[in-house]
Amino acid sequence: MECSKRTTTKTYIEALSTASWWVSTMAVRPIESMGVPVVILKEGSSRTYGREALRSNMMAVRAVAEVLRTTFGPKGMDKMLVDSLGDITITNDGATILDKMDLQHPAAKLLVQISKGQDEEVGDGTKRAVIFAGELIKQAEDLLSKDVHPTIIIQGYKKALERALDKINEIAEPIDPEDKEKLKKIALTSLASKGVQEAREHFAEIAVEAVDTVKEKRGDKWYVDLDYVQIVKKHGGSLKDTKLIKGVILDKEVVHPGMPKRVENAKIAVLDCPLELEKPELDAEIRITSPEQLKILLEEKEEILRKKVEKLKEVGANVVITQKGIDEVAQYYLAKNGIMAIRRVKRSDLEKLAKATGAKIISNIEDITPNDLGEAQLVEERKVGDDKMVFIEGAKNPKAVAILVRGGFERIVDEAERSLRDALSAVADAVKAGKIVGAGGAPEVELALDLRDYARKVGGKEQLAIEAFAKALEGIVMALVENAGYDPVEKLMQLRAKHTEGCKHCGVDVYTGEITNMIERGAFEAVAVPANAIKSGTEAATLILRIDDIVAAGKKEESKEK
């Protein structure tokens, strides 16, 4: 009986190993059953599995992180990206670099999605998120070589993330959303790594003023919708010619030369209906058998348009802005009545205009009333560069603003716009969260020290993963110090010593090399920026570590013309 049991067990093991061999090979070659081949994957498909798949993904993530590593911090370098058409982009903005790189590896593409998510969530910190993901993967490689299972590493990383997010909110200092001086310093910290050094102060002031104008308090919380900050780019002039408009800029011109080009104390009608006769939805046919009938038809059309203009004049409108078209006859009557008109305005600009001037967007001119009109101190057509634009300034309730970005040439203007968006996001994050942390690697070192203490309490193999998480945080600081030209090991040791003494906001001043309290130095950022970067980087790393099989479909062959 015992012999029979052993034989059965042996047979079961042999069958199991045979089945395992078939599963591992079925993706790369057909299985023959009773002489009939069974193809699992289409021809041209490939499969990578096990440690080889993991190694491939990890190498891709680290390679992308290394590209961004040299751009990190105020002394980071720029990248020149040339697309297939030969267009050049020069930037050190993380999201832009990843977007323009045209990455092919699927794991590398995941990082692009992570960076976009970080950019949409907080508007800044994309490089930090990707570099941190790369550091986590680097530390995971060391653990895998020690036979620590990926699942254990992921569990350790998740515990470390929860602890780090709690700790960073604990060490963060409160900030008054009305304190413009501190908000300006946040904008300056964000702009420190951008290519607009000569206009940093000017851009910081614009960012603070723009956010201060559009922010709204709902209950106990502040909300900032940056969609109501319009950015218009025009090359020509210098970066310091960039200016904030308490209103809206329309990249359009007045439709008729007989209309006024400047209107003070404007009463603005905002329309999403046309000032022209619309075609009927159903097919219709009009038969004209004499010149008199044609004349009557044209007169009727003219009368309808005249009545529409009369209605606008009656309610007191002296500026008309519409999303649709304006007929030439209507243009004539508008000009005759001294009403300025702008047509074919984008819907998004129309909504900003309504928000800024207090106007209501009207779909039917017959329903318009004086209360539906918006108000502005000045509406004027101006020439900017080679183009004409309409400026609406001194709006009644400027909860929407516009920024006209100028620069010597197109590439500079594009980089200035990216820098300005990051600064706006950084200030908005500080207003919404109401908390700040020091810059210069201060939060990362503080979190790393706390996580090492926490790891000893957790114990087991997860302890190794938590310690690896702490090392990855310090990897961000080392990248910052390396790019500034200092010895990363020396500065990291000095930082650890300061934080052990209780200076939780001590960081590296990259301009002087000193270890100092960064909040007292005036270099700090909204807590949401590093917190979201750590969260995004961890999510990316754990996602990569979970993958142990890559099945890639074959490329489609282009149909050949016969």
405-408 LR contacts (CB < 8 Å, sep 24+): 405/231, 405/232, 405/233, 405/234, 405/242, 406/234, 406/235, 406/236, 406/237, 406/238, 406/239, 406/241, 406/242, 407/235, 407/236, 407/237, 407/238, 407/239, 407/242, 408/235, 408/236, 408/237, 408/238, 408/239
- Among residues 144, 57, 34, which one has the least CA distance to residue 109? 57
Distance (Å, rounded) from C-alpha 327 to C-alpha 334?
A: 10
Q: Which phi and psi (to 5°) does residue 218 adopt?
A: -120, 110
45 φ, ψ (degrees, to nearest 5): -75, 155
Please tell me the distance from the alpha carbon of residue 267 to that of residue 269, in angstroms, as a whole number: 7
CA 302 to chain centre: 49
The dihedral built from the CA positions of residue 197, 202, 205 and 206, taken in this order, carries a sign that is negative
Amino acid at 320: V
Residue 401 CB partners (closer than 8 Å, separation 6+): 209, 210, 213, 214, 228, 229, 230, 244, 245, 246, 247, 356
DSSP β-bridge partners for residue 249: 391
Q: How is residue 18 written in tokens?
A: 């045979």
**Residue 358 near residue 270 (C-beta atoms within 8 A):** no
DSSP assigned state of 290: S
Spell out the alpha helix ranges (H) of 375-527.
410-433, 442-458, 460-484, 488-500, 518-521
Q: What number of residues does the chain have? A: 562
* Single-letter amino acid, residue 385: G
Find the helix or strand (DSSP H, E) in which 438 lies.
strand 435-438
Distance CA 189, CA 48 (A): 44
Q: What is the pLDDT of residue 188?
A: 87
Partners of 174 in beta bridges: 435
Note the pLDDT of residue 270.
Answer: 92
In terms of Cα–Cα distance, which of 138, 174, 167, 145 is closest to 63? 138
CA atoms of 17 and 137, how far apart (whole Å): 32
235-265 pLDDT, tens digit per residue, is 887 888 888 888 888 888 899 888 999 999 9
- The residue behind tokens 């909110």 is 169
pLDDT per residue rounded down to tens, the chain (562 residues): 444 444 444 444 344 344 444 344 444 444 444 556 666 666 656 666 567 777 877 888 888 888 888 888 888 888 888 887 888 888 877 778 888 887 777 778 888 887 777 777 777 778 888 899 989 998 988 888 888 888 899 999 999 999 999 999 888 888 888 888 888 888 888 888 777 777 888 889 999 999 988 888 887 888 888 888 888 888 887 888 888 888 888 888 899 888 999 999 999 999 988 888 766 556 666 677 777 766 666 677 778 888 888 889 899 999 999 998 888 888 888 998 899 999 999 898 888 888 888 889 988 888 889 999 988 899 999 888 778 889 998 877 778 888 998 887 788 888 888 888 888 988 888 888 888 888 888 899 999 999 998 988 887 888 899 999 999 999 999 999 998 888 888 998 998 999 888 888 898 888 888 888 888 888 888 888 888 889 988 988 888 888 776 666 666 654 444 3
For the beta carbon of residue 365, count every other beta carbon within 10 angstroms.
19
CA distances from 47 to 28, 53, 108, 202, 553 (A): 7, 9, 18, 54, 9
DSSP character for 165? H
In whole angstroms, give the CA distance from residue 194 to residue 191.
Answer: 5
DSSP secondary structure, 105-129, as one string: SHHHHHHHHHHHHHHHHTSS-HHHH
CB 372 within 8 A of CB 236: no
Residue 41: what pLDDT?
60
DSSP designation for 7: H
Beta strand 319-322 with 340-342: parallel, antiparallel or unpaired? parallel
Rounded to 5 degrees, what are φ and ψ at 26?
-70, -25
Which residue, 476, 471, 435, is CA-closest to 451? 471
DSSP 3-state percent helix, strand, coil across the chain (nearest 5) = 50, 20, 30
pLDDT, residue 553, reads 67
Residue 236 DSSP code: B
CA distance 22 to 24: 5
At 170, phi and psi to the nearest 5? -70, -40
For residue 526, how far is the Cα from the chain centroid?
16
Alpha-carbon span 172 to 168, nearest angstrom: 6
pTM score, whole prediction: 0.77
- Per-residue pLDDT at 3: 45
Query: Partners of 378 in the beta sheet?
Result: 264, 393
What is the token pair recorded at 122? 């907080």
